[in-house]
Structure formats: C-alpha cells, structure tokens
C-alpha cells in the first residue's frame, strides 16, 4: 500500500492481492476494489450454503477489510507527516545522472538510467568515481 505514496506511475505498482481486478489509481479506488473483492469472495466461498453462513463469512471478511481501511488511514497520516523529501530525491537523482553522464567511461544515454532506483544510481556513480 505504500506504493500509492512512493510510486508515481500507476502502471508500475504491483498489487498481488487484486489479481483479476483493474489496477487502482489511488488508495480510495484500492479500498473500493477490496470491498468488492470481499463480497465476491464471500459469495464464492459460501455457494450452496444458507444465508447465515454467507452473512457470518461476509462479516468476517468485512472485519478484515475494516482493519485494512484503518491501516490505510494510519499510513496516509504517516506519509503526510513526512517531510517532502521527494523533491530532494529528484534533485539528487538529477545530480547523480549529471555526474554519471559527465564522468562515464562507456557509451550511455540518460534515457537508459530513467527507471533505475536512486540506490543503483549512487552505486553507479561510486563505481565511476573509483
């Protein structure tokens, strides 16, 4: 769930718990899909059983969903209280790319490094410095 705050491109987020559902663009969509998933799961797992079995299983799944929703709310608060280091990371990324492009001893273009995580860029810069 942290991916909603750390990965800007929705197509690059990996959400294995929503296999078979479309990729959500934000946390609210994710929670709506999880709610739908709970209802579908309860219907499938209680197929052929009486309404009591369905309602008790649905209640169990909704309790799990409520815990997930509480966690999402707490995570959102936690992430909003963090300093805006995204700008700092972007600036560091630009500086590292400039260093790599200026000092590299091999043929490369900036586009080749676009998907690299910051830690890999730091490692590459350290190799070039040595």
pLDDT digits (tens, 9 = 90+) for 87-126: 677 788 888 888 888 888 788 888 888 888 888 888 888 8
**Interior CA angle at 15 toward 59 and 67, to 5°?**
30
| Residue 2 confidence (pLDDT) above 70 | no
pTM of the model: 0.52
Report phi then psi at 102, rounded to 5.
-75, -40
Return d(Cα 14, Cα 1) in angstroms, integer. Answer: 9
Return d(Cα 116, Cα 99) in angstroms, integer. Answer: 15
């Amino acid at each position: 769930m942290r991916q909603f705050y750390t990965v800007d491109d929705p197509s690059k987020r990996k959400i294995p718990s929503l296999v078979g559902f479309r990729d959500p663009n934000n946390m609210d969509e994710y929670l709506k899909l999880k709610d739908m998933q709970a209802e579908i799961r309860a219907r499938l797992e209680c197929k052929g059983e009486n309404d009591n079995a369905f309602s008790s299983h649905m209640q169990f799944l909704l309790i799990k969903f409520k815990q997930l929703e509480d966690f999402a709310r707490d995570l959102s608060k936690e992430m909003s209280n963090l300093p805006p280091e995204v700008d700092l990371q972007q600036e560091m990324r630009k500086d590292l790319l400039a260093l790599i492009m200026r000092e590299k001893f091999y043929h490369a273009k900036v586009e080749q490094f676009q998907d690299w995580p910051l830690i890999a860029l730091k490692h590459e810069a350290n190799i070039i410095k040595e």
